[in-house]
Amino acid sequence: MTRLLRDTLEDWAGEARVPPGLADRALRRRTWRPYGAAVLVAAMIAAVAVFVTGQREPEPVVRPLNNITLPPRPSPAPTDVRTDVEHSPPAKLIAAGRMAVSAYYVTTLEPVAGGQQRVRRTWSLYDPRTGGYEQTPYAWVDVAPGLQVAAVIEGDLLGRRVGVMDLNTRQMLGWYELEHSVGSVAWSPDGTRILATAYSGYPDLMQGEGDQMAPVMRDSPRIGYYVIDVPGGTADYHELEPLPGFHGDAQITGSNRQDLGWSLDGTLIWSPTTTTPDRLFYTPDGESRDAPEGERYRRGTSLPATSPDGRLVLGRDGMPTRITEVGTGKIVGRQQVLQLHAWADDENVIALGCAGKCENEFNNGLVLVSVDGSRMTQLAANRDSNGGGAWRWVLTPR
Amino acid sequence: MDAADEQRFREFVDARSPALMRLGFLLTGGDQHAAEDLVQTALAKLAAGWRRVAAPEAYAKQIMYRQQISWWRASTRRGEVVQASPPEREARDAHHQSELRLVLRSALARLTARQRAVLVLRYYEDLPEQEVAQVLGCSIGTVRSTAHRSLARLREIAPELARDLEVTT
């Protein structure tokens, strides 16, 4: 019976014409002004109508956002080498093997009360539409493995809204409203959960000038964390005491920012320290756990130090760097780079290289170096990493 | 709204304005100018809240539904919308499909905005009753009774449609 109705509606709708300049007009107006009517009278009538009918403008956030369907990861993932040695920060995607620079940030210092300065990050996100990067207004971003979606924090330095953005369309797939402010987000290795670290105040405060500049020594304002299950549509909060920032006998962090990360297999979370071991593990519910056996990490990150085939492991920072065999500890290669960051494949590593003969270690940039150190490809332009305004990359599996 | 937001907003409008215009056209009973006003209003509100809106198209449509009902109640133009080619029922063979569609259009244009909105949501957007209720901010019972009354009203306006619009859901 409704066939006629459906067909008629479909058919009739086809007669609508799309006028030009709709976006321009909307951007100019942004509030309602009816055409061809006295604005005041119309507004009064509209107000009465709202009163009479109870019709109100819908809330801007369309809810519920119980479960976000995440786009699938590309399979097989690309592994080509992509470089941009002309622009700093990069204008084109930087990638090699299984890893890519999915985002980067630039820091600036802002004076605040008490002679202190605040570190502000300006984040840029990989944009598949242009093959480059796009600056964002978000307080923090993290791209999920596969480079299809990003988690973002909306807010000034800290925020209570975490969103999931489709990188390809730049549309928000959904938002999570949180009770506590969060200062960082991190995707689980399988790209389905977001770990958001909560703070009662902004942690990145500095004091002193020039070479003497150092973090303000106080107790870290970290208060806990959320585990957001994106397809499941849940956000569970857990309290977690901060680790001692600067004073203590046990692990100290040397930082008020104590962002949590995921273990390699995504079953545990970790809190960073500057001592050895460089992290403490917890269950996602916040219970202390021993470090998972056999897992080796690139210091300060959630990236594996062990090669994809499990045979080799990245050595410490400092030129020349070393790569050793997991089982025997035997050195299999030395590289003329400052730091080894991530495995591109079983034979090549994304590393921090040094300009020229490394007269100045702060004049450095990303390179791809082979395990034996014989081959090196410049991935990004060298830049002065010491000054303010240097860009800092985030590496993510493609 | 910064430059990047504006760019995304423009892309959204480019991609989705045909769909929004089609919807606006139906909601206003085939009035091109009123449909433009309606879409324009929704887009202006969407632009104002762009960064807070999770699902832009759903949000724009929701504004259109509610706005149209408010405007209709507030305005005095409750009469039949003049069609580009007004159907002259008596001169036509009502059994012919395309004729029937013209008759139905004319009848749809004479419904109240709320009645038309419910039919558009149910039979053009294909939304289940529960979602129609959510979008319009009313109960499922109201959606059912409005849909029932709307179809009955169509039969009343155009008795030749009675056979095609017999069953109500």
Residue B72: pLDDT band with limits 50, 70, 90:
low
Residue A252: pLDDT band with limits 50, 70, 90:
low
Amino acid at residue number A176: Y
In angstroms, rounded to a whole number, what is the distance separating the alpha carbons of residues A120 and B101? 62
Quote the pLDDT of residue B41.
87
| Domain residue ranges of chain A, discontinuous segments joined by + | 3-77+90-298
**Interchain CB contact of B70 with A (< 8 Å):** yes
> What is the SS3 string spanning chain A?
CCHHHHHHHHHHHCCCCCCCCHHHHHHHHCCCCCCCCCHHHHHHHHHHHHHHHCCCCCCCCCCCCCCCCCCCCCCCCCCCCECECCCCCCCCCCEECCEEEEEEEEEEEEECHHHCEEEEEEEEEEECCCCEEEECCCCEEEECCCCCEEEEEECCCCEEEEEEEECCCCCEEEEEEEEEEEEEEEECCCCCEEEEEEECCCCCEEECCHHHCEECCCCCCEEEEEEEECCCCEEEEEECCCCCCCCCCCCCCCCCCCCCEECCCCCCEEEECCCCCCEEEECCCCCEECCCCCCCECCCCCCECECCCCCEEECCCCCCEEEEECCCCCEEEEECCCEEEEECCCCEEEEEEECCCCCCCCEEEEEEEECCCCCEEECECCEECCCCCCEEEEEEEC
Structure tokens given for A168: 């390809």
Amino acid at residue number A117: Q
Q: Are the beta carbons of A5 and B100 separated by less than 8 Å? A: no
Query: Which of A13-22, B9-18, B134-143 has the lowest average pLDDT?
Result: B134-143
Among the partner residues A55, A135, A136, nearest to B69 by beta-carbon distance: A55
β A363-370/A376-378 pair status: antiparallel
Residue B163: pLDDT band with limits 50, 70, 90:
confident
Quote the pLDDT of residue A126.
97
Residue A140: pLDDT band with limits 50, 70, 90:
very high
Cβ contact A206:A216 at 8 Å: yes
**Pick from A359, A357, A352: nearest CA to A382:** A352
Quote the pLDDT of residue A248.
59
**Interchain CB contact of A174 with B (< 8 Å):** yes
Spell A137-169 as b/e; 16+ CB within 10 A means b: ebbbbbbbbbbbbbbbbbbebbbbbbbbbbbee
Structure ipTM: 0.84
Query: In Å, what is the CA distance from A376 to each residue of A333, A368, B136?
Result: 13, 6, 62
Compute the residue count for chain B. Answer: 169
Q: Give the residue from B8, B73, B96, B103 with the most A CB atoms within 10 Å of its CB, the best one to mutate.
A: B73
Average pLDDT score, chain A: 86
Cβ contact A26:B46 at 8 Å: yes
Amino acid at residue number A355: A
What proportion of chain B, given as a percentage, has pLDDT over 70?
Answer: 82
In angstroms, rounded to a whole number, what is the distance separating the alpha carbons of residues B13 and B9? 6
User: In whole angstroms, what separates CA A214 from the centre of its chain?
Assistant: 24
> B25: number of CA atoms within 13 Å, CB side?
23
In angstroms, rounded to a whole number, what is the distance separating the alpha carbons of residues A361 and A352? 10
Highest mean pLDDT among A182-186, B88-92, B108-112: A182-186
pLDDT tens for residues A82-102?
A: 999 999 999 999 999 999 999
Structure tokens given for A92: 């084109």
What's the Rg (C-alpha) of chain A?
25
What proportion of chain A, given as a percentage, has pLDDT over 70?
Answer: 87
Residue A46: is its pLDDT beyond 90?
A: no
Amino acid at residue number A330: K
Residue B78: pLDDT band with limits 50, 70, 90:
very low
Quote the pLDDT of residue A251.
58
Query: In this predicted model, which residue has the larger pLDDT, A180 or B87?
Result: A180
Residue B74: is its pLDDT beyond 80?
A: no
**Chains A & B: contacts with CB separation below 8 Å:** 174
Q: Are the beta carbons of A18 and B46 separated by less than 8 Å? A: no
Find all residues with CB under 8 Å of A183, minimum gap 6, and list them. Answer: A139, A140, A153, A157, A158, A197, A198, A199, A202, A203, A257, A259
Quote the pLDDT of residue B169.
42
Quote the pLDDT of residue A57.
46
DSSP B162: T
* Range A11-18 average pLDDT: 90
Query: In this predicted model, which residue has the larger pLDDT, B41 or B137?
Result: B41
Residue B99: is its pLDDT beyond 50?
A: yes
What residue in A sits closest to B155 (Cα-Cα)? A5
DSSP notation for B96-146: SHHHHHHHHHHHHHTS-HHHHHHHIIIIIS---HHHHHHHHTS-HHHHHHH
In angstroms, rounded to a whole number, what is the distance separating the alpha carbons of residues A341 and B67? 55
Quote the pLDDT of residue A186.
98
Q: Are the beta carbons of A5 and B104 separated by less than 8 Å? A: yes
Q: Are the beta carbons of B43 and A25 separated by less than 8 Å? A: yes
